[in-house]
Structures are given as structure tokens and as C-alpha cells.
Amino acid sequence: MDGTEFKKYVGENIAKIRKFRGYSQEYISEIVDISPNSYSRIERGLNFPSAESFAKIISALDISPCELFNFPNKESDEKIRKEIYRKLKIIEKDREKMINIWLYINSIV
């Protein structure tokens, strides 16, 4: 992972958490004391916040720093999808098993 990807993933995580909390970019940028444009650039992975801004973002979102560094593992995710598809193909004729699997998947996602 290079620096560009790193900034992108951190920015995506910030945006995802902000939206989940129901905050606007303007609200967070005001708390962090940076311009809305600068904050938007952070979420888009174009800029990385200073240490001070980073700490303020974490505080405003009420999260731990590690939550921003939980990056997707595309290879692992693809393997999981393929395995789920393979298992579903095996049992597709058994409706009861399909329903149970669907209920299980919904309970963990």
C-alpha cells in the first residue's frame, strides 16, 4: 500500500463514520477548525490531516484511532465471496438450509 492508497482509505473511513453519525462535513470542519474544503480533501484522500486536526477529528467522531485504520483486504474479501457462492450453489435446492444461511448472514452483517 502506498501513501496515496493510505490517505484514500483513511479518508473513506472518516467519511463513512461521519455519515453514520449523521454529521455534515461542515459540522466536523468547524469542530476541527479547518475550512470545509480542506476537510473535504481529507475525506477524499487528497490531503492528510495534521496531528492536531487528526486528534480533533477522532474526538469529534467519538472513535478510537484504530477505527480509522481498518482497511479492506480485497483479496480476502473476494475469497470469502467465492466461498459463500460455492456453498450456496451446493445447497440451492434445499430451501430450509438457504433460509437458515440467509438469516445467519443477516445476523452478522
Q: How many helices (H) and strands (E) does the chain have?
A: 6, 0
Count the neighbouring beta carbons within 10 Å of the beta carbon of residue 58.
Answer: 17
What do you get for the CA distance between the two ends of the chain, in Å?
26
CA distance 26 to 59: 16
The tens place of each residue's pLDDT in the chain, 109 residues long, gives: 677 888 888 899 999 999 999 999 999 999 999 999 999 999 999 998 888 999 999 999 998 888 887 766 656 666 766 776 776 676 667 777 767 777 777 676 5
Instruction: Answer whether 90's CB lies under 8 Å from 83's CB.
Output: no
